[in-house]
Structure formats: C-alpha cells, structure tokens
Structure 1
Amino acid sequence: MKAVTLRANWKPREGYVLGRRDVEGRRTYLGSQIWHSPKVEVVEKDVPKIGPTEVLIEVKACGICGSDVHMAQTDEEGYMLYPGLTALPVTLGHEFAGVVVEAGELAFNKRTNRPFEVGEPVCAEEMLWCGSCQPCADGYPNHCERLEEIGFTCDGGFAQYLKIDAKYCWSLEPLRGVYSEDDIFLAGSLVEPTCVAYNAVIERGGGIRPGDNVVIIGGGPIGLAAVAILKRAGAACVILSEPSASRARLGLPLGATHIINPLKETVWERVLEITKGMGAKLYLEASGLPHLVYPDIEKAIWEGRQLNSVVVVVARSDAKMPVFGEVYQVRRASLVGSQGHSGHGNFPRAISAMATGTDMTAMITKRISLEEVPENLKLLQTDKEEGKITVLPWRGN
C-alpha cells in the first residue's frame, strides 16, 4: 500500500539534555530540539496485521493538520518546527475516517457493545492513552504518561490502510442519512480537530453561558471549529481574528458574527467596540503566535468591563508568551492550557453535534491524493489561504 512517511536525523541541539522519557535515536517529547532535516516521501508499505482487540481501517479521508506541516518544516538551523512528542520514521496523518475492513474478535464497538462489523464507518482518537497511569486513572487521558500518538509516534492516516485498537474508535453511523456516503468520511475526518477545539473551549475553558462574548485568535481549522462550537453554545458575539480573507470568510457559515483583520485593525480596540466596552468571557489563542497576540488579549481584558475572562492556549509554539500577571490578578482572569481531544465524552458529543446541524465540512477547501501530500505540506508552510486540505487515499493522480 502507499503511505506518506516522515524521516529526520537525530541531532540534539547543542546543550539539550534528553528527558527521562526520551529514547535515544528514536523518540523525544520535544521534537524541535532533536530532529534535523525532516524529509517527507511517498513509499510502499505492507498492509498492517491486526491483533484480537484491533481493527483494520481502509482510510477514506484524512485531513492535513498544522502539526503535519510543522513536522515537515524547519527553522533557520534546519530543525523541525513541531515542538511535541515524535518518534521517527512514521507515517503521518491523524485526522482520519474510514471503514472497518477487518476486526479482531475482541474489537468491541462502543455504540453497540458488540464486536465491530466489517463495513462500519469510523473515526478515531489520535492520542493513544494507556488507561492505567495516574493521569488516565484521574480521567485525564490527554496527559497519559505512556502516551502514543497516531501520525507522530505510530503510523497514521496518510495511507490506504491503518490499524488501531478498537477502544480508540468511534462509529460514524449517526451521520448516515445526514451526509451523503462520501461526505460521511469528510465529516468524520473533522471529528478529531473539532474535539481539540471542544476540549479547549468547553472542557478546559469552562464553556460559556448563552449571551457571552468570545474571541477566537486564528482562523485555522481549530479556530474555525471553535467558532462553530461556541456559536452553538449560545455566544452572542463570536469574534474571529484572522489576517487571511479567505480563511476568515470560512468562519461566517460556521457562526462568526464579526471578523477582525489584525494586519489592518487594532484587535483589542475592535473587540471593545464590537462588545460595547465589555470585552469577552473567553479568548482562544489558536494562532501559534503568542508574542504577537497576547498584548492585544491582555489589553482587551484590562480595558474591558468583563471580569473572570478565560484565555485558553491551544496552539503549539516554541515561542514564549509575554504574560503580565497584574492583568490576571486585577481582572480575575485565568490563563489555561489545553492539549488534545480525548475524555469527557468529547468524541460522541462532536459526532452528535455534526449529526444535528453543525456541519464542519464547510472548512474543507481542497481535496488531494496521497501523492500530492508532500507538495501540499510545503505549500502550507507559506500559503495561509486554504482552510482544511483533505487527503483522499483512494484517489490516484
């Protein structure tokens, strides 16, 4: 089968000391400090063999995530930009949906409480939690101490087939009758990024009350998903700050009520103008440019009348945040981090929302084959006009 793999050289930066969970030559929790000269290529691989609790999935759709782009992108010294957990070489891709073509005898479907059947449409979690460490036992699988990640440490969805333990799979049957047969898988490939946004704004950010105002900084897929989630949750003003006109326009059908171009307008002033001096209850940082956006967020909190604002950090970045503690103390504001998507029923809730009117497929702007992945990963390093580019592994050049 065809698969898109990433390789890189193990070359720790001068002065970097491996952590206790790093594995020399293979695995690190800080990819941007280790991996040098990443290279993406389309290769031939064997179809995976499954175990008794696993399913084999024929991939029908897999979205390109910003992390895929950053894993293939380098800084001026040739090091990978992505700062997170990585083990190379690996098949990329983690926002996938497909159909079960083989299931182990102990591969149970949570929807039916019976073994998966061939033909079941599914998506899956990207974070493979162990279920037995302290964070997992406490209900925080996103912070598993033995974490593995599809497309980061084990082979992912930029391939014709992949295997995964059934406990991470979620049925897409609720989408039947709502989407066409092909669109079920397009929608299914957006469940994972939607759950990242859901975890950020609802679980970590604490959610909102109907009538609250919200600000989303960054109109990539996570930011756009947050727009849809917060509008459905009852936000009055859903303000999206995004410099790309084409990406900003994608926010309108998803629920954005106001668009700010940060290259042409002062964000904090426009936020206070739109909200008539109140500011927002929730600010989502989804741009990955903390040094540029935090001064505006803090100014809006400081000058606005809204107390108890929550700032949620969801974008990954090596850059440090310029945070002024006085703002958070005086205005009773909170700053919280958000990682991942699992737990708290996020996946079934996202699928249910999609089945009842929240159509995320509006953010898909381009569909490509596996052979076109390398060139599009390169394109996305500089071109910020596309929304979500989705890979259709069954499509040939």
Structure 2
Amino acid sequence: MSTSIKALTIDLKEDGWEKSRGFIKREIPKPTLNESADPADSASVIVKVHYAGLCGSDRGIWNRAAFSDMFKESLASEGKSLRVLGHEFVGEVVEAGSKVEALYGISVGNPVSGDSHVTCGKCFQCRMGEAEVCQDQSILGISIDGIYAEYVKVPAKNLWVVDYERVRPEICAMYDPFGNAVHALSKTDVRGARVAVFGCGQIGLFSVLLARHFGAAKVIGIDVNPDNLKMAEALGAHETILVKPEKKEHDYDVDQAVIDQVMKLTYGKGVDVSMEMAGFNSSVNNCIAATRFGGDVILFGIKDGDFVVPNFSRMVVKGITMHNVIGRQIFKTWQIAQRVLSDETNGVQDKMWNVIMKGGQETIIPLSEFSAELLEERMRAYPKLVFDIQK
C-alpha cells in the first residue's frame, strides 16, 4: 500500500506567499493514527475524501488576498512550511481512534462531512455553547492542515454523518458554506421581509435561495456579474441589480445608482435586511445605505485590512442592528441545513445542483486533472466548484 498521497498545498519556503499564486499539487505522506505517540489520535479519524469544495476563502488564498497572517503564524508555530489546503469536504471514515465510537457514535464506513472550525471546547465561548466564536480555534486548510488530499486526519468531534441517499455527495461537500448562509439568515426573522443580498457569489447565491425558502416577501440580488444575477433569478430572487462602475471620490463610497434602485423597489423605505456577502468596503456601505430605519445589516464577507464607514453616526440614528457572522453554529446550523437539503419537496437541493453547479458540467474537477490554468478558467466561469478527489 502506498505511503504517499496527492494533495493541493502551499509551501511558504518553496513557493513563498507574496510572490506566488495558486495551489501546488504535491505528494505528501499519508496520514496515520498512532495513539501511543499522540493521545489525541484516540479521538481522531482518517477520512478518504470523496469530494471537496472550493470556497470564496480558497479563492482569496489562491490570489494571496486573505489569511496571510494566519498561514505564516500557524506554520511558524508548527515548525514547518507546507500547508494542505481546503476545508469543505465529504468522504468515508476508513480508520477511527479507539474512543471515537464511544464519544461521537461514528464508525468506520460512515460517510461524513465536517465543520472546518476546530474548536478548543474549553474556553468561555465553547462552554457557553458559542463554539463558532471559540477564542482558541483552528481552521482547516488555513491554520491547520486541510482536506484537499486523498486521505486526511481530522478530529472526530468535527464530523457530521451524512446520507448519500438523501443528499447527493457533491452537495454534501457544500454543507460547510451552505451552513454559512443558514447561520447568516438565522440572525433575524426574514419572514415577510424585504431582503437585499449584496454579492451573489456562492454563499450569496445560497442566501438568495434560503431567504426565499425561509419566507422573505422580496429578495433582491445585487452583483457586478450579470451571469451571477441570472442564477440569482433562477434561485428565486424577485429583482436583481447590476452594479456598474461609477466615478467616486473614494473606493469605499456607496454606489448611489444601486441605492437609488433599492429605494425605488422598496417605495423609498429601504430593505428590512441587507446581507453583505462580498467583503468589499463599498459593499458594506451600500448595505448600510440601503437598509431602512430600524432594519438589520448582516456582515459575512471577509477581506483583510481596514474598512471605512463614513458618517458612522447614521448607524445609531437609523437604529440599524448590525450582525457579524462567522462560520456556523456547531451543530445547530448543520441540523437545519440537513433538514432543508433532505426535503425533496422544497427544490432547494435540486436548484443548488442544477443552477449553481450546472448539473456537474465543468463544475466538478477531478484532482488528477488539476492544473492552475484549468482552475483559473473555471473560477472565472462559475461561482462554485468541487474537486473529485479520488478521480
């Protein structure tokens, strides 16, 4: 049996960070469990990865536009330079530590997905049931090795058993980002609300789909990409707005034409809920400007660096409530996501597969065919991609 496997990686020593781009496919040692050498292995598993999703944060890493400090600091603390990337996955448990079944009810042969945030379980937040904001967490594929590999070792506490007969495996690989949208939409009641989604990338599109499913009266999709807006319409957006370049004094200034259209669609009031899913400074300010007095702004998009919010006092004067979303509520969000995706009558899973994933046409990339050129081409064409790791 081979002792090496294929993986998508970054090596800060060989590739660097500032002067490199993309992922490098390398042969790395196959992970093993050795409880005598590492007692934590008794509560860990080896997963044979079937599918692994490419997230917006992975695109940021590809372009070296996100998480540079986390990469550098975590690798330095581990005394190594190579990081296995990726955090969205589904696969099969092929080996389990001695305590796994007793602690978590997970056995060899179970198909599993898992949360990308490995929490400490000991801090105040974890003990209070708020593990998504654990103060000592690690993130797969960023601050610890991830899942873009044929086999991976992960803590069993992070796993969620899935059912391929209810949710197709390619969609199971998206539980993590789909859960981001579920978590974001749990921050306020959207039933009967007017909701604007600023940024219709993959999680923005999930948010459009879920806002409609959860009962929003009007969903407005807003993006710079007309193809993404067509998908938003197919997923249930009542209206879409294309963001066009405007001459502005500062990059962070609002796109006034967009705000004017939102106001027209809401009879001059503004939306009840704005969801910032793009991560750009101007998008945050668009959300604030587009939200009615007493409304809610949900922030999810993440970019490195400082943001400017002009006239911040308007947040107080307008009585706007701002919600910051990180990750998922473990595992409450997963339970909601599973129920939504498993319901054959609501069409959510079918729309994800047929609209966002184009039925798997060019959106599923075999690991054996990976190249920088191919991935660049597909990233330009599609908001969501999934690697077939074993093919």
CA-CA distance at 1:209 after TM superposition: 4.0
Choose the corresponding residue for 2:91, options 69, 80, 98: 98
Calculate the TM-score normalised by the size of structure 2.
0.82
CA-CA distance at 1:159 after TM superposition: 1.0
Equivalent residue number for residue 54 of structure 2: 64
Equivalent residue number for residue 372 of structure 2: 374
Equivalent residue number for residue 393 of structure 1: 389
CA-CA distance at 1:273 after TM superposition: 1.8
**Amino acid across the alignment from 1:36:** E
- Decide which moves more: 213-222 or 64-73: 64-73
CA distance in 2, matches of 1:109, 1:314: 36
Q: Deviations over 1:204-261 (max 9, x none)?
A: xx22242101111111111111112211211011111012122222223332221110
- SS state at 1:266 partner: helix
**Amino acid across the alignment from 2:8:** V
Between structures 1 and 2, the one with greater helix share: 2
Calculate the TM-score normalised by the size of structure 1.
0.81
- SS state at 1:281 partner: strand
Amino-acid identity (%): 24
CA distance in 2, matches of 1:9, 1:266: 46
CA-CA distance at 1:298 after TM superposition: 3.0
Given that 1:6 and 1:72 are in contact with CA atoms closer than 8 Å, whether structure 2 keeps it comes out as no
Choose the corresponding residue for 2:264, options 264, 270, 273: 273
**Amino acid across the alignment from 1:201:** L
CA distance 1:124–1:376, change in 2 (3 Å): farther
CA distance 1:83–1:214, change in 2 (3 Å): farther
Residue 37 of structure 2 is aligned to residue 48 of structure 1: no
Q: Deviations over 1:326-355 (max 9, x none)?
A: 321222102232211243601121111110
CA distance in 2, matches of 1:346, 1:249: 28
Equivalent residue number for residue 36 of structure 2: none
Residue 356 of structure 2 is aligned to residue 363 of structure 1: yes
CA distance in 2, matches of 1:54, 1:255: 41
Equivalent residue number for residue 296 of structure 2: 310
Equivalent residue number for residue 213 of structure 1: 194
Q: Deviations over 1:144-198 (max 9, x none)?
A: 232111111222221111111111100112x52x34xxxx211111110011122
Residue 85 of structure 2 is aligned to residue 85 of structure 1: no
Given that 1:109 and 1:170 are in contact with CA atoms closer than 8 Å, whether structure 2 keeps it comes out as no
Given that 1:8 and 1:36 are in contact with CA atoms closer than 8 Å, whether structure 2 keeps it comes out as no
Given that 1:294 and 1:322 are in contact with CA atoms closer than 8 Å, whether structure 2 keeps it comes out as no
**Amino acid across the alignment from 2:259:** W
Choose the corresponding residue for 2:339, options 318, 343, 352: 352
CA distance 1:57–1:344, change in 2 (3 Å): closer
Choose the corresponding residue for 2:172, options 188, 209, 214: 188
**Amino acid across the alignment from 2:183:** N
CA distance 1:328–1:347, change in 2 (3 Å): same
CA distance in 2, matches of 1:242, 1:105: 49
CA distance 1:295–1:155, change in 2 (3 Å): closer
CA distance 1:85–1:339, change in 2 (3 Å): farther
Given that 1:108 and 1:166 are in contact with CA atoms closer than 8 Å, whether structure 2 keeps it comes out as no
- Decide which moves more: 133-142 or 231-240: 133-142
Equivalent residue number for residue 184 of structure 2: 200
**Amino acid across the alignment from 1:156:** G
- SS state at 2:294 partner: coil
CA distance in 1, matches of 2:91, 2:46: 10
CA-CA distance at 1:293 after TM superposition: 2.1
